[in-house]
Chains A and B, each alone.
Chain A
Amino acid sequence: MPPKNIVLTVGSCSERGAKAENQDFCGWLVPHEPLLTTKGIAVLLADGVSGCDAGAEASEYCVKGFINDYFSTPDSWSVRLAGQKVLAALNNWLFGEGQKRALSRRGLVTTLSAVVFKSTTAHLFHVGDSRVSWVRQGRLEILTRAHRVQIAPDREYLSRALGLDSYLEIDFRTVPLQVGDWFVLSTDGVSEHVEDNVLLELLGSRETPADEIARQICAAAIANHSPDNVTCVVVRVDALPLQEADEVFRELTALPFPPELEPGMRMDGYTIQQALHASSTSQLYLAWDEQDGRRVVIKTPSVNYEDDPAYIERFHHEEWAGKRIHNPHVLKVLEPGHRRRFLYVVMEHVEGHTLRHWIEEHPNPEIHAVREILDQITAGLRAIHRMDMLHRDLKPENIMMDAKGRVILIDLGSVKIAGIAELSTPVQRAEILGTLDYTAPEYFHGQPGSKRSDIYSLGVIAYEMLTGKTPYGELPKGGWKKAPNLAYTSATLHNPMIPLWMDGALEKATRTDPHRRYETLSEFLQDFSHPNAAFLNQLPAPILERNPLLFWRFFSLLMLFCNLLLLFLLSRR
């Protein structure tokens, strides 16, 4: 039975060396499940800058702080996002604290090299002049760069370190892992005084315990007259989560699909009241919980996908994501109170209608009403984005409005969770999951989506609320792949009440190139609610831009007419 998760051997050694005080600090944490899967193993090494009084304090604070905070970040976050956030917070504290201590010369400053081993990938965060080396099959590669500036042949300064400035730049990179790989994290006291071939030789002996190897490396540095503290951490990859396809699929299909449910049927402590909706992908039932009498909605998968692992995985993700987002504008997914014997998702029951219904009922909506709905959708979407997730299937059908006017995003069935996307899997995940008219063009060109892709969908929805149409008209069946050059039709053509600046915001939100779109939801909302001068200064667009089809039709007709006239005139003679 292969281990189900990553297994590392870690050894370390930290000695004061030639100095009076050891200002280096290293540490690692192998958490229990489920953190081991969702967050991985963190290995860190920090070198408190020797020039400061509190170097030792800074390096220790940094390593302990990272381990504490990193494992407390939401499990939907990617390693990169979690690391960035944690390091930014640590940097702020160090910098602020350093400023406060007026007596200190340079405050609390430390280098930091952190490696997070998650699934089959190593994620590196690096700032300062420590070093991370990577050894695979006897070949050594240095993964980090020393952030130093040399101002004289014998005078060098750290150019980047934690606590040096309120602004922090962190190097980040990922390395795919193989069993047998070595990673060596070392402070400059070691890395500059141990030759690569010595290091390779020491790592080469199979029987030596890891701690002993680390000790030998430090000893080699001291023997080589290292003037600094000597610290190193060695990490060997012993096993990787071996994703046996059969096993993964067996786990996914462990819960069978429920049968077609009829009113009055009881399943796992829920009594079915009525069927609400059925499509070719899923069914929704209204049910009540026999324990507490709560009304809930149960979503069951469609048998059409009984043998589609990607679909089943998405079904699990929907529940996983829904349980982690707590926002009044995102539908709550409930924990089933009973042992579950079938695959389904239990959700809060919202009475109301969809935004599609609203659009049909309000062909000429008040602009402020549209803005209010958009505000609420944005609030829900922001909660999703904050969890490092992408919705990927925003459309009026997936947005509900209850009797009190609360707007709720209901379907997380296509959600992409960054923290889970990092886990290696034999399941082939599809990239396009949205709906033709609302899916951002980049998906059709095989690019992974971003928050801007959700902003595109939001822009299309806003456009549709105001005009009843979509900005690019009816897309062909193949979507953007078939029609890459569609032009935006100004919303003012469909609804002359729309101010030009608002049309400008819609246009920018729905641009086909994601890089030319709004970067954040708030920017779009701001431009949608307040006139942006950039959009106002434009002259009214010429007809060629506003409606190219009409222009060319008219032009062709004119030419035809001229030709006929010419023919007529010529034939008279």
Chain B
Amino acid sequence: MSDAIRLNIFSFTGKMRILHLSWIAFFISFLIWFNHAPLLGAIKNSLGMTNQEVNTLLILNVALTIPARIIIGMLVDKFGPRVVYTALLFCASFPCFLFAWAESFEQLAIARFFLGGIGAGFVIGIRMVSEWFPAKQVGVAEGIYGGWGNFGSAAAAMFLPALALLFGGDNGWRYAIGATGLLSLFYAFIYYNTVSDTPKGSTYFKPNKCGALEVTSRGDFFFYLAMKLPMFAALALLAWKLSPAGVALLPAQVVHLLYLCLLVLYGVDCYRSWVVNRVNLAAPVPEIHRYRFKQVAILSIAYFVTFGSELAVVSMLPLFFTNTFALTPVVAGLLAACFPVMNLFARPGGGWLSDRFGRRKTLALMIGGLAMGFFAMGGITSQWPVPVAVLVTVVCSFFVQAGAGAVFAVVPLVKRRITGQVAGMTGAYGNVGALSFLAVLSFVEPQTFFMVIGAVALLSLLVVQFLDEPEGSMAEVLPDGTVHMIEMA
């Protein structure tokens, strides 16, 4: 009977079946999200794009994710994870086909922009897993879901160049990308027919309040509004990038209109936050509901640099290896895959370290290591032996992903009741990070890009020092097995 409690990865029944089916869905969504990265060389050649245009594609890929996360979160509340994941996988296949059959930079750009939406798939599965797993296992289950799913980008880097070669010719990349679209379309139906939103007979719960985050003091409210700004600023940066001042994809009038839209959206967003928090601001919030928004802000910044740098680096690494060491796309893809491949254990490992050695210490250590790692990567030149470059990449990626894991080990401890909203805000900052870093990449050489990430990491290391160690009472087990209480200040 105690099997009910153990987590058996090789089982394919009950909640484990849901976990497997969900991480595969996430895996496919990541595969699609980064299916362009290892093929960029071929795409660039076959359509004759400039470097500037290639970088724009990379940015576009992470732009829509930011607003999409919010919308997907609301849809999950309304329709449940099963339907939303199915719809997302289904819908993503069409821009995927458009991308595969694109004849110009404009078409590629539009397709990539819409493909950015699939990056929001993460939250759907997290919701699914939390419905199915008891508290004790939910951390490990979400680690498996996130880690193995993220592996999708590694799989893309490893297999798509080979697949493109298999189809052969200048259009090999088109078939490879089209194949991922077909896979997604196909899996959408499988997912719909094999999972259910909650275990049979589980208690019905009111969906979490969706939309804006709840804050519990007046100061925190303004802090929250300020923390929203970078999200809109990142989108504004993208709009500027598309303006005549950048790649001139959009005429100046349209860009100005976009700026105005963003401004209005920010206003609407602030108003919605006010509506949600109206009651909390009018009267003091009972102590049990209080928390400090500072914690959310710090975690967001830490995720900005950890997950943000991961997304950015995953997009550009294959092309970087190809160009720096004059490798074939297949080899470069395989080597670049060692960056995301670390997800398999580095991300859960970060959570484990955090549980064991203290939240702030672990997070600081990981971000410190990440900074060093990127400074080292900034030094990579064509003179370096390839194995050394790969080793530096692997070490750096360990810190990046363990750092992301350490952030999400703290997220549920900020305030259990609003974990979903805290995770949403933090996750969005990961995308803002990716967008910002990729924007930097469009101005500078890759080496400088790595250095910039390192410098930002050092800054966030400072910020992390202000993180409060989550407090509370902890139980201790004595050697004879007796459970005792220890109060933590």
> Hey, which bits of chain A sit against chain B, CB under 8 A?
245-246, 249-250, 253, 256, 258-261, 263-267, 271, 274-281, 283, 302-309, 341-342, 356, 393, 395-397, 414, 426, 430, 432-436, 439, 477-479
Min CB distance A196 to B, Å, is 39
Residue among B78, B79, B203 having the largest count of chain A Cβ atoms under 10 Å:
B203
Note all chain B residues with C-beta closer than 8 A to A263.
2
Count B interface residues, CB 8 Å. Answer: 41
Taking CB atoms and an 8 Å cut-off, the chain B residues in 125-141 that contact chain A are 130-138
**Is the CB–CB distance between A303 and B4 below 8 Å?**
no
Do the beta carbons of A307 and B483 come within 8 Å of each other?
no
Question: Which of B66-74, B285-293, B397-405 forms contacts with chain A?
Answer: B285-293
25 examples of A-B residue contacts, CB within 8 angstroms: A246-B286, A249-B288, A250-B288, A253-B288, A259-B475, A265-B482, A266-B480, A267-B482, A275-B2, A277-B5, A280-B132, A280-B133, A280-B202, A283-B134, A283-B136, A303-B416, A304-B130, A307-B288, A309-B288, A397-B201, A430-B206, A432-B204, A433-B204, A436-B204, A477-B197
**Complex CA distance for A439 and B224, rounded to whole angstroms:** 39
B207 CB to nearest A CB, Å: 9
With a cutoff of 8 Å between Cβ atoms, the chain A residues found around residue B477 in the complex are 259, 265
The chain A residue with its CB closest to the CB of B199 is A279
Is B80 close to A, CB under 8 A?
A: yes
B385 within 8 A of A: no
- Given A249-B287, A281-B203; 11 other pairs, CB 8 A cutoff: A245-B286, A246-B287, A266-B480, A276-B4, A277-B4, A280-B130, A280-B133, A280-B135, A302-B134, A304-B138, A395-B201
Selected from A302, A308, A393, A432, the residue in CB contact (under 8 A) with B417 is: A308
The verdict on B473 contacting chain A, using a C-beta distance below 8 Å, is yes
Contacts of A280 in B (CB 8 A): 130-135, 138, 202
Residues on A with beta carbons closer than 8 Å to the beta carbon of B288: 246, 249-250, 253, 307, 309
Contact A278 B204 (CB under 8 A): no
CA distance A246 to B481 in the complex (A): 35
CB contact under 8 A between A304 and B135, given known A279-B199, A393-B203, A435-B203: yes
Which residues of chain A have C-beta atoms less than 8 A from B5's C-beta? Answer: 275, 277-278
Instruction: Give the docked Cα–Cα distance between A259 and B483 (Å).
Output: 8
Residues of A within 8 A of B206 (CB): 430, 432
Binary contact track B141-154/A, C-beta < 8 Å → 1, others 0: 00000000000000
A215 to chain B, nearest CB (A): 45
User: A432's closest neighbor in chain B, by CB?
Assistant: B204
Q: Which residues of A contact B286 (CB under 8 A)?
A: 245-246, 249, 426
What is the chain A residue whose CB lies nearest that of B197? A477
A302 near B481 with CB under 8 A, answer no
* Residue of B whose beta carbon sits closest to that of A256: B473
In the complex, the answer to whether B79 meets A435 with C-beta atoms within 8 Å is no
Find out whether the CB atom of B483 lies under 8 angstroms from the CB atom of A303.
Answer: no
Interface on chain A toward B: helix, strand, loop, or mixed SS? loop
Q: With A258-B483, A267-B483, A306-B416 given, is the CB distance from A274 to B203 under 8 Å? A: no
A303–B481 touching, CB < 8 Å? no
Query: Hey, which chain A residues are within 8 Å of B2, CB to CB?
Result: 263, 274-276
- Residues in B with CB closer than 8 Å to A478 are 78
A288: min CB distance to chain B, Å:
13
Can you list, as one digit per residue, whether each of B288-301 has a CB less than 8 Å from chain A (1) or not (0)? 11000000000000
- Cα A283 to Cα B415 in complex, Å, equals 21
Q: Which A residues lie within 8 Å of B388 (CB)?
A: none
Cβ-defined contact, B475 with A258, below 8 A:
yes
Judge whether B1 is part of the interface by a CB distance below 8 angstroms. yes
Q: Which of A258, A261, A279, A305 has the most CB of B within 10 A?
A: A279
Contact with A along B409-421 (1 / 0, CB 8 A): 0000001110000
B residues 1-31 touching A (CB-CB < 8 Å): 1-2, 4-5
Interface string of B459-487 (1 = CB under 8 A from A): 00000000000001111010011110100
Say which residue of A250, A260, A283, A435 sits within 8 Å of B204 (CB atoms): A435
* Residues from chain A with Cβ under 8 Å of B200 in the complex: 356, 397
C-alpha gap A432/B206 in the complex (Å): 8
Query: Which residues from chain B contact A275 at a C-beta distance below 8 Å?
Result: 2, 4-5
Contact indicator A307/B415 (Cβ below 8 Å) = yes
A245 to B415, CA, bound (A): 18
Q: Are A305 and B416 in contact (CB under 8 A)?
A: yes
Q: Which residues of A contact B473 (CB under 8 A)?
A: 256
- Bound-complex Cα distance A479 to B481 (A): 45
Using CB atoms, name the residue of chain B closest to A430: B206
A241 to chain B, nearest CB (A): 17
Question: Quick one: which of B134, B201, B204, B289 contacts A307, CB cutoff 8 A?
Answer: B289
Q: What is the CB-to-nearest-CB distance from A144 to chain B, in angstroms, rounded to a whole number?
A: 38
**Minimum C-beta distance from A468 to chain B (A):** 13
Contact status A265-B481, CB under 8 Å: yes
* CB nearest to A436 among chain B residues: B204
Pick from A246, A263, A271, A309 the residue with the most CB of B within 10 Å. A246
Name the residue in A278, A302, A430 with the highest tally of chain B Cβ atoms < 10 Å from its Cβ. A278
A304 touches B416 (CB 8 A): yes
Alpha-carbon gap, A253 to B288, bound state (A): 9
Q: How far is the CA of A71 from the CA of B417 in the complex (A)?
A: 39
Beyond A259-B483, A274-B1, A275-B5, whether A303 also contacts B289 by CB under 8 A is no
Take A249-B286, A256-B473, A306-B416 as given contacts and tell me if A396 and B135 are in contact as well, using a CB distance cutoff of 8 Å: no
In B185-199, which residues have CB < 8 Å from any A CB?
197, 199
B134 to chain A, nearest CB (A): 4
Say whether A260 contacts B481, CB under 8 Å. Answer: no
A430–B131 CA distance with the chains assembled, in angstroms? 19
How distant is the Cα of A433 from the Cα of B465 in the complex, in angstroms?
42
- By the criterion CB–CB under 8 Å, are A479 and B204 in contact? yes
Q: Is the CB–CB distance between A439 and B201 below 8 Å? A: no
Q: Chain A nearest CB: distance from B203 CB in Å?
A: 5
The answer to whether A435 and B201 touch across the interface, beta carbons within 8 angstroms, is yes
> B417–A256 contact, CB under 8 A?
no
B204 touches A439 (CB 8 A): yes
Whether the Cβ atoms of A261 and B134 lie closer than 8 Å is no
CB distance from A260 to the nearest CB of B (A): 5
A477 CA to B481 CA, complexed, in Å: 43
Question: Do B482 and A266 touch (CB < 8 A)?
Answer: yes
Q: A304 contacts which chain B residues (CB < 8 A)?
A: 130, 135, 138, 416
Name B77's closest neighbour in chain A (CB-CB). Answer: A477
Chain B residues near A356 (CB, 8 Å)?
Answer: 200-201
Q: Quote the shortest CB–CB distance from A125 to chain B (angstroms).
A: 36
Which residue on chain A has the smallest CB distance to residue B3?
A275
Q: Complex formed: what's the CA distance from A200 to B58 in Å?
A: 81
| Alpha-carbon distance between A276 and B4 when the two chains are bound, in angstroms | 7
A263 to B2, CA, bound (A): 10
Which residue in chain A gives the minimum CB-CB distance to B288? A249
* Most interface-central of B1, B204, B416 (chain A CB within 10 A): B204
The answer on a CB contact under 8 Å between A307 and B130 is no
Question: Is B1 in contact with A276, judged by CB distance below 8 angstroms?
Answer: yes
Shortest distance in angstroms between B416's beta carbon and chain A's nearest beta carbon?
5
Determine if A302 and B203 form an interchain contact, defined as CB atoms under 8 angstroms apart: no
